Amino acid sequence: MATNLYQQSVLNKSRVDKFKLVFQLPNSLKKINRHQDRKNATVMQDSLQFSIYGTVVPAITVPALEIRYSGSTLYNSTHSKSPYPPVTINFTIDNEYNNYWVIYKWLDLLHNEYTGLFDADNLIDDDVFKDYQTDLTVYGLDEYNNEKIRFTYTKAFPTEIGGINFSYREAGEIESSFTFVYSQMHTMLLN
């Protein structure tokens, strides 16, 4: 049986937000990044803070191949991964809605709410894909907020932002979510 060398919960459940999200703005959104200049046409990367909770790591599947032979079924590996499913991140909205606004403006770049067009503000240069994609990194934290595992989602971009549901009758923080797709996921244990 494994021995717990630390004076902490074996199940790592003392807090709700046991993950931290870190990412750079995509190149196109960096063009409207302003420090301390909160306007409808800008975003503020310096204010990006995502306190996330819940499951944020997708299932990884390497399917088996059925081989029928003489009334039996043998299995071999396909040696390939199934496509990664989209990931939904549940987060707490900051008190000025800045973290929500960044994801909203990112989606607005992909499909403008007024014109219905991609890149209506002409923020993207030559490399269309690179300019609206970025790497998202999620760190799993221990009881002392030390980073213990890293999940990097490459070439990621959001596909959905969740609703905002809050009530003055409840004392909890305002929460939302966003869903993103990505090309690859790389995982690394940290010391």
| Span 104-145, pLDDT tens digits | 999 999 999 999 988 888 888 776 778 899 999 999 888 788
Backbone angles phi, psi at 110, to 5 degrees: -75, -30
| Span 20-70, pLDDT tens digits | 888 888 888 888 888 777 788 888 776 566 778 776 788 889 999 999 988
Mean pLDDT of 146-166: 92
Please give the pLDDT value at position 120. Answer: 85
Residues with Cβ within 8 Å of 96's Cβ and at least 6 positions away in sequence, in order, are 38, 47
CA distance readout (Å), 185 to 20, 51, 56, 83: 16, 21, 12, 11
Please give the pLDDT value at position 57. Answer: 86
Mean pLDDT of 71-87: 92
Domains of the chain: 19-189 (2.30.110)
Please give the pLDDT value at position 75. Answer: 92
Please give the pLDDT value at position 2. Answer: 46
3-state DSSP of the chain:
CCCCCCCCCCCCCCCCCCEEEEECCCHHHHCCECCCCCCCCCECHHHCCCEEECCCCCCCCCCEEEEEECCEEEEEECCCCCCCCCEEEEEECCCCCHHHHHHHHHHHHHCCCCCCCCCCCCCCCCCHHHHHCEEEEEEEECCCCCEEEEEEEEEEEEEEECCCECCCCCCCCCEEEEEEECCEEEEEECC
pTM: 0.80
d(CA 94, CA 111): 25
Please give the share of the chain, as a percent, with pLDDT higher than 70: 87
The pLDDT confidence band at residue 16, using thresholds 50, 70 and 90, is low
Mean pLDDT of 161-177: 83
Please give the pLDDT value at position 1. Answer: 43
The pLDDT confidence band at residue 94, using thresholds 50, 70 and 90, is confident
Residue 168 has pLDDT above 80, yes or no: no
First to last CA, the chain: 22
d(CA 89, CA 185): 15
